[in-house]
Amino acid sequence: MKTRKLGTSSLEVSVVGLGCNNFGVLDLESSRKVVDRAIEAGIALFDTADIYGNRGGSEEQLGQILGPRRKDIVLATKFGMAMDDEADKARASRGYIMGAVEASLKRLCTDWIDLYQLHTPDPKTPLEETLRALDDLVKQGKVRAIGCSNLPAAGINEAAAISSSSGLASFVTAQDEYSLVMRNAERELMPALEANRMSLLPYFPLASGLLTGKYKHGAEIPAGTRYARGTRFSDRYMTEENWKIVGKLNSFCEARGRTLLELSFAWLLAHPCLASVIAGATRPEQIDQNVKAASWELTAEEKSEVDRLSTKQPSP
């Protein structure tokens, strides 16, 4: 498994990461099988959040499963989304962060978090307050590096300026949506990340399954899949424009004896600022498929062609 650095940090991660949002929803033994296979396959980045698994379940399962193997992986988690029903709480304030990190450390059964990420912007709290609190956690050794998620390009630049001028730990990663059918990050976010020497960790890299090949245009949605459980994802991704792109990409893959899943990983990893493709899994076989998919390296000509095929027409 190839590795890449997380921004300017000393952390090295596998180019395929494991998204742990299914843990805490899966039973413990099912989650254990996925974790075991991931570690065996060389996956060294495990990404979770305090809210995953019905508020805490994912972290709790990871804490039970990892044991002494915890030191062999880069463990990433997040804070800032609602862990209770108090709507007005400032979830990036110093007081909140200090409580949230202790709760995550306890659930994860660990003394440190490798990458601690602000899950979503908090308009109630100045960025400087958030960064100073996170800097203290780094100095205390409870956190090794910090990142953000869903922060716009302007926020990325503001945070970098604050950290630089005040000598604070800076965000080394941003976790945002990016895939062959969702390329908005290219407009402003990715240039900001490159300018500030940060790494992108894409979420929904497979468009919640659209880019795995498991769904067919016009066919019935397979039972038990994410799209079958509700319309949130199917309405978002199963658009006519996306199906047209998928059709063109499938033809590109068939001409090369490849799969859409392989192309989805290969195209993402062709971007130097991208550190790891974080994909979830509910079964060990999905781990094997993801690891295999990441072995394809696109040529510059192939990358350019895929860029063209997946470009959407601008809105009127």
Point out the residues that are catalytic.
52
* CATH number assigned to the domain comprising residue 98: 3.20.20.100
pLDDT number for residue 87: 76
Inter-residue contact 8 to 24 (CB < 8 Å): no
Which residue range(s) make up the domain with 115?
3-309
Inter-residue contact 186 to 201 (CB < 8 Å): no
Nearest to 60 by CA among 44, 83, 80, 91: 83
pLDDT number for residue 313: 77
Whether 184 maps to a domain, the answer reads yes
Q: In whole angstroms, what is the distance from residue 76 CA to residue 71 CA? A: 12
Whether 117 maps to a domain, the answer reads yes
End-to-end CA, the chain: 43
DSSP string, 35-85: HHHHHHTT--EEE--TTHHHHHHHHHHHHHHHGGGGGGSEEEEEE-S-SSS
Whether 20 maps to a domain, the answer reads yes
Whether 315 maps to a domain, the answer reads no
Total domains in the chain come to: 1
Whether 218 maps to a domain, the answer reads yes
For residue 244, the one-letter residue type is K
pLDDT number for residue 303: 97
Could you give the angle at the alpha carbon of 234 between the alpha carbons of 87 and 223, nearest 5°? 110
pTM summary value: 0.93
Find all residues with CB under 8 Å of 105, minimum gap 6, and list them.
Answer: 111, 112, 113, 142
Q: Name the token pair of 75.
A: 């463990």
Q: Tokens 């990340």, residue?
A: 193
pLDDT number for residue 231: 62
pLDDT number for residue 86: 83
Inter-residue contact 3 to 15 (CB < 8 Å): yes
Q: In whole angstroms, what is the distance from residue 199 CA to residue 171 CA? A: 9
Low-confidence spans in the chain with pLDDT less than 50: none
